[in-house]
Amino acid sequence: MGNGCTKTQIVYKANLNFNLAGKYLAILVEKSMLTALPNIGGNIEYKLTSHGHDFLRRLSNVEADLG
């Protein structure tokens, strides 16, 4: 998600349904892990914040420790 993704892109890449993805995205924005900004086409584009990158790095470390 370096350049950001729309909800549709996230749904297809994460194999989620739109309702569930919307709930997750709202939580991640609320927790300041994602920003939600309109793109040129008028769609909302989600981008990882530094807090989100930090969380993802820590989560990857936990996953590596468990694997």
In this predicted structure, the answer to whether residue 1 has a pLDDT above a threshold of 60 is no
CB atoms within 10 A of CB 33: 19
In this predicted structure, the answer to whether residue 5 has a pLDDT above a threshold of 60 is yes
The whole model's pTM is what? 0.84
Is the distance from CB of 32 to CB of 51 less than 8 angstroms?
yes
Is the distance from CB of 53 to CB of 35 less than 8 angstroms?
no
For 25-39, the pLDDT digits (tens) are 999 999 999 999 998
Confidence at 67, pLDDT banded by 50, 70, 90: confident
In this predicted structure, the answer to whether residue 54 has a pLDDT above a threshold of 50 is yes
Please report the DSSP string for the chain in residue order: --S-EEHHHHHHHHT--HHHHHHHHHHHHHTTSEEEEE-TTS-EEEEE-HHHHHHHHHHHHHHHHH-
* Domains of the chain, first to last: 5-66 (1.10.10.10)
